[in-house]
Amino acid sequence: MTQPIRSVKIGRNNPCPCNSGKKYKKCCLVNSSSQQDRRHPENARIKLKSTIDIQGIRNAGKLVLQTLQLVEDHLKQGITTDSINTLVHEFTLKNNGIPAPLNYRGFPKSVCTSINEQICHGIPGTRVLNDGDIINVDVTTILNGYYADANKTFFIGEPSAEAKKIVDVARQSLNEGIQMVKPDNTLGDIGWAIQKYSQGQGCSVVREFVGHGVGFEFHEAPQVPHFGSKNAGTRLVPGMVFTIEPMINLGGRELIILDDKWTAITKDRSLSAQFEQTILVTETGWESLTPYPL
Q: What residues line the site for ligand MF3 (CB under 6 A)? A: 101, 104-105, 107, 112, 121, 138, 140, 149, 243, 245, 276
- 121 touches which of ligand MF3, Co ion, none (CB within 5 to 8 A by kind)? ligand MF3
* Minimum distance from residue 243 beta carbon to ligand MF3 (Å): 6
Q: Cα(146)–Cα(217) distance, rounded to whole angstroms?
A: 7
Q: Which of residues 101-120 bind Co ion (CB under 5 A)?
A: none
- What is the SS3 string spanning 64-82? HHHHHHHHHHHCCCCCEHH
Which has the closest alpha carbon to 71: 277, 79, 115?
79
Q: Which is nearer to ligand MF3, 140 or 204 (CB)?
A: 140
* Minimum distance from residue 101 beta carbon to ligand MF3 (Å): 3
Count, residues near Co ion per rule CB under 5 A: 6
* Minimum distance from residue 101 beta carbon to Co ion (Å): 8
Q: Cα(153)–Cα(81) distance, rounded to whole angstroms?
A: 14
- Asked if residue 149 binds Co ion (CB under 5 A), the reply is yes
- 107 touches which of Co ion, ligand MF3, none (CB within 5 to 8 A by kind)? ligand MF3
- Asked if residue 243 binds Co ion (CB under 5 A), the reply is yes
Distances (CA, A) of 127 to 88, 114, 123, 130, 260: 17, 11, 10, 9, 14
Which residues fall within 8 angstroms of residue 96, CB to CB, at 6 or more apart? 143, 144
Using DSSP, state whether 25 is helix, strand or coil. Answer: helix
Q: Which is nearer to ligand MF3, 110 or 172 (CB)?
A: 110
* Minimum distance from residue 259 beta carbon to ligand MF3 (Å): 16
- 117 touches which of ligand MF3, Co ion, none (CB within 5 to 8 A by kind)? none
* Minimum distance from residue 161 beta carbon to Co ion (Å): 27
Q: Which is nearer to Co ion, 16 or 88 (CB)?
A: 88
Distances (CA, A) of 179 to 185, 223, 230: 11, 18, 14
Distances (CA, A) of 49 to 25, 34, 36, 238, 242: 20, 9, 9, 9, 11
Contact 143, 97 (CB under 8 A): yes
Q: Which residue is nearest to ligand MF3 (CB)?
A: 101
- 154 touches which of ligand MF3, Co ion, none (CB within 5 to 8 A by kind)? none
User: Left if phi > 0, otherwise alpha if psi is -120 to 50, otherwise beta: which for 51?
Assistant: alpha
Q: Which is nearer to Co ion, 186 or 277 (CB)?
A: 277
Of 53, 117, 133, 138, the residue at the interface with Co ion (CB under 5 A) is: 138
Q: Cα(227)–Cα(270) distance, rounded to whole angstroms?
A: 20
- 253 touches which of ligand MF3, Co ion, none (CB within 5 to 8 A by kind)? none
Q: Which is nearer to ligand MF3, 153 or 243 (CB)?
A: 243
